[in-house]
């Protein structure tokens, strides 16, 4: 895989209709952390959305997928913290919410995006409906010690690293 400037590894997998790949994605990310000892990793987990489209939002199947993913993510964060010698920051995103088996409106249950920021110095248990997808890029820039450009509409959720 060719390296891109500023990006050590980018992987994209699209298995339509498949669920249960979140633990595999987390295993791949953990292997990368062991191999490269990065200070930042971003992970996108589509499982719960895939199951929501197939079985319905709030269905038993989706709640089971959410439980599996929550357990895998908890294990991943513990293992990741032990696998690195650096101050590792992790951003985890998922797709979106929904209703029935679709997402055709802008209600909060449809439009809110699961978003987790984890690492040293990150405030624990911050739950906010004020986090926007637009905050992702400015937050990553701040974690990397870069001032987000003023024209970006989102806001960093952490101070710029090193300041």
What confidence score (pLDDT) does residue 107 get?
81
Strands (E), 55-134: 89-94, 115-118
Domain edges within the chain: 42-117
d(CA 11, CA 19): 17
What confidence score (pLDDT) does residue 13 get?
61
Q: Per-residue pLDDT for the chain (163 aa), expressed as one digit of tens each?
A: 344 445 566 666 655 545 448 888 899 899 989 988 888 899 988 888 888 889 998 999 999 998 999 999 999 999 999 998 878 889 998 877 788 887 778 887 777 778 888 887 777 655 566 778 888 899 989 888 889 999 999 999 888 877 7
Q: Specify whether the CB–CB gap between 65 and 47 falls below 8 A.
A: yes
What confidence score (pLDDT) does residue 127 get?
57
Element (H, E) at 41: strand 40-45
Q: What is the token pair recorded at 10?
A: 């980018």
d(CA 156, CA 163): 13
Output the pTM of the full model: 0.80
């Amino acid at each position: 895989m060719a390296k891109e400037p500023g990006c050590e590894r980018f992987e994209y997998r699209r298995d339509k209709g498949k669920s249960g790949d979140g633990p595999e994605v987390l295993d791949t990310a953990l292997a990368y952390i062991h191999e490269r000892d990065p200070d930042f990793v971003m992970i996108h987990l589509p499982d719960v959305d895939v199951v929501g489209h197939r079985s319905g939002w709030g269905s038993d199947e989706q709640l089971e997928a959410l439980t599996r993913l929550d357990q895998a993510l908890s294990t991943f964060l513990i293992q990741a913290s032990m696998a690195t010698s650096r101050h590792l920051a992790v951003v985890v995103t998922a797709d979106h919410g929904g209703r029935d088996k679709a997402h055709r409106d802008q209600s909060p249950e449809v439009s809110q995006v699961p978003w987790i920021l984890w690492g040293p110095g990150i405030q624990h248990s911050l739950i906010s409906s004020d986090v926007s997808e637009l905050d992702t890029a400015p937050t990553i820039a701040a974690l990397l010690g870069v001032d987000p450009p003023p024209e970006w509409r989102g806001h960093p959720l952490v101070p710029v690293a090193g300041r």
